[in-house]
Amino acid sequence: MMTAAVYICTDPGVPAFGAKGCSVHLQEVLRELLRRYRCVHLITTRPGGNPPADLAGVVVHALPRPAGASVAAREVAQRAADAAAALRLAGLCSDHHVGHRVGLVYQRYGLWSAETLETARRLGVPSVLEVNAPLLEEQATHRELVDAAEAERRTRRLLAAADAPFAVAGPVARWASSMDPRWRSVPAIGNGVDVARFTPAPVRETAESRTLTVAFSGTFKPWHGLELLVDATAAASVPLRLLLIGDGPELGVTCARAAAGVPVTATGQVSPAEVPVWLHTADLAAAPYPAGEHYFSPLKVAEYLAAGLPTVASAIADVPALVADGTEALLVPPGDVAGTAAALGRLGRDVALRRSLAAAGRRAAETRLSWTAVVDRSLALLAVPAEDVA
Q: Could you say which residues of the chain have pLDDT below 70? A: 1, 95-99, 203-209, 384-390
The pTM of the full predicted model, rounded to 2 decimals, is: 0.88
Do 2-192+371-388 and 212-367 agree at the fold level?
yes
- Note the CATH architecture for domain 2-192+371-388: 3-Layer(aba) Sandwich (3.40)
- For 176, other C-beta atoms within 10 Å of its C-beta total 25
Residue ranges per structural domain of the chain:
2-192+371-388, 212-367
What is the CA 369 to chain-centroid distance, rounded? Answer: 12
pLDDT for the residue 187: 96
Region of 183 (left: φ > 0; alpha: ψ -120 to 50; beta: rest) is left
pLDDT for the residue 388: 47
pLDDT for the residue 356: 96
pLDDT digits (tens, 9 = 90+) for 102-117: 999 999 999 999 999 9
Residue closest to 76 by CA, chosen among 152, 147, 161 = 147
The answer to whether residues 35 and 23 touch, using CB atoms and an 8 Å cutoff, is no
The answer to whether residues 378 and 164 touch, using CB atoms and an 8 Å cutoff, is yes
pLDDT digits (tens, 9 = 90+) for 30-78: 999 999 998 999 999 999 999 999 999 999 999 999 888 899 999 999 9
pLDDT for the residue 204: 58
pLDDT for the residue 293: 75
pLDDT for the residue 384: 56
Q: Does domain 212-367 have CATH number 3.30.360.10?
A: no
